[in-house]
């Protein structure tokens, strides 16, 4: 009788936790100013679930043993334009991408700054290759065709008003505020390599991004990049579909107040071009987590199974 109980439990676990490959983890240890209140962390959870649910890559763990050494360094989450810090003793689980977040008052109109971290690895050549490429051979190719970071940094500006949406599947009026979901999604895409990875810059030519998937989505024309010397963003003249609606690409450099923007097909296509295993070009919000009513049903079913098992045992 216990056997049937265990099978029921296993089925429940499968239903509740669909398999996902990449696991984005936001890390708040550098949030010295207390910027990340519960409602803001909930928005970042949505951003993590959006990318975790749509990127199917398998990334090796970085767990140095013996003579192997891994030292992770990041832009300082509370002062990213002026310094870097070492993350003491960081190790990285399989499929994990750890993003350290912070906040500070930027001069001017900066909403956020984001990018991948760095590292120094030493020891066996196998371990160094694993730290550099996490088992993705294209990340070690020349030129690189993939990108497999261990994580990075995002810093949000504190001199603007933020909107923390408790349901990113709906858009309401938040005039005058900046949308945390929009900006956090934009900056996470930078951590994942748009405008930052070698596999991105390997496909930049004459002010355009020449990746095949992005070009196909952009009506066969290599999408134009913002002409500011960084080649890190799409041009604001571009339009691409998000939820079937035309939108400026999320990875354009300007996000107005009061506006929600999603990852468009062009933004996802660019991630695919730089090496990510993107499941869908149409993802805009994360899949819903089970409603409390659903959980109640599941718990009820579980209790019934348990009761049946006990009865039979008796």
Interface residues with Ca ion (CB under 5 A) are 57, 136, 146, 165, 167, 170, 275
Closest CA to 200 of 254, 141, 146, 265: 146
CB neighbours (10 Å) of residue 166?
9
Give me the least distance between CB of 84 and Ca ion, in Å please: 25
**Interatomic CA distance for residues 298 and 158, integer angstroms:** 42
For residues 147 and 234, which CB has a smaller minimum distance to Ca ion in the complex? 147
Give me the least distance between CB of 256 and Ca ion, in Å please: 17
C-alpha dihedral sign at 264, 280, 192, 91? positive
**Interatomic CA distance for residues 80 and 149, integer angstroms:** 18
Give me the least distance between CB of 314 and Ca ion, in Å please: 50
**Interatomic CA distance for residues 30 and 103, integer angstroms:** 9
Q: Measuring CA to CA, how many Å separate 127 from each of 64, 76, 112, 142, 144?
A: 8, 26, 33, 19, 19
Give me the least distance between CB of 121 and Ca ion, in Å please: 19
62 touches 130 (CB < 8 A)? yes
Give me the least distance between CB of 303 and Ca ion, in Å please: 34
For residues 123 and 132, which CB has a smaller minimum distance to Ca ion in the complex? 132
For residues 5 and 45, which CB has a smaller minimum distance to Ca ion in the complex? 45
For residues 167 and 246, which CB has a smaller minimum distance to Ca ion in the complex? 167
For residues 77 and 116, which CB has a smaller minimum distance to Ca ion in the complex? 116
For residues 118 and 174, which CB has a smaller minimum distance to Ca ion in the complex? 174
Q: Which two tokens stand for residue 186?
A: 């934009």
For residues 57 and 265, which CB has a smaller minimum distance to Ca ion in the complex? 57
Rg (Cα) of the chain, in Å, rounded? Answer: 21
Closest CA to 104 of 204, 167, 45, 32: 32
Longest dimension (CA), the chain: 77
Between strands 118-122 and 69-75, the pairing is antiparallel
Give me the least distance between CB of 174 and Ca ion, in Å please: 9
Give me the least distance between CB of 57 and Ca ion, in Å please: 4
Bond before 218 cis per omega within 30 degrees: no
For residues 148 and 232, which CB has a smaller minimum distance to Ca ion in the complex? 148
Helices marked H in the chain: 2-16, 38-52, 125-133, 180-191, 198-201, 212-217, 265-273, 292-313
Give me the least distance between CB of 273 and Ca ion, in Å please: 11
């Amino acid at each position: 009788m216990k056997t049937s109980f265990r099978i029921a439990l296993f089925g429940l676990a499968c239903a509740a936790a669909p398999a996902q490959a990449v696991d984005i983890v936001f890390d708040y240890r550098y949030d010295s100013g207390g910027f990340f209140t519960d409602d803001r962390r909930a928005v970042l959870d949505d951003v993590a679930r959006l990318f975790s649910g749509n990127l199917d890559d398998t990334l090796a763990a970085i767990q140095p043993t013996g003579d192997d050494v891994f030292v992770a360094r990041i832009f300082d989450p509370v002062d990213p334009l002026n310094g870097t810090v070492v993350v003491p003793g960081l190790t990285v689980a399989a499929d994990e991408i750890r993003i350290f977040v912070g906040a500070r008052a930027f001069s001017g109109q900066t909403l956020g700054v984001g990018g991948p971290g760095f590292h120094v690895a030493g020891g066996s050549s196998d371990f160094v290759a694993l730290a550099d490429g996490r088992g993705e051979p294209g990340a070690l190719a020349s030129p690189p065709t993939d990108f497999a970071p261990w994580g990075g940094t995002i810093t949000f500006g504190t001199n603007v008003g933020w909107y923390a949406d408790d349901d990113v599947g709906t858009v309401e009026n938040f005039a005058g505020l900046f949308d945390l979901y929009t900006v956090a999604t934009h900056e996470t895409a930078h951590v994942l390599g748009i405008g930052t990875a070698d596999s991105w810059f390997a496909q930049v030519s004459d002010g355009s991004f020449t990746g095949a998937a992005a070009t196909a989505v952009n009506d066969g024309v290599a999408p134009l990049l913002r002409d500011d010397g960084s080649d890190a963003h799409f041009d604001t003249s571009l339009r691409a579909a998000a939820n079937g609606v035309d939108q400026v690409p999320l990875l354009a450099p300007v996000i107005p107040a009061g506006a929600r923007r999603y990852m468009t097909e062009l933004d996802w296509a660019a991630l695919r071009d730089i090496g990510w295993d993107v499941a869908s070009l149409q993802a805009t919000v994360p899949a819903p987590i089970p409603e409390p009513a659903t959980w109640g049903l599941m718990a009820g079913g579980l209790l019934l199974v348990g009761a049946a098992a006990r009865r039979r045992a008796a």
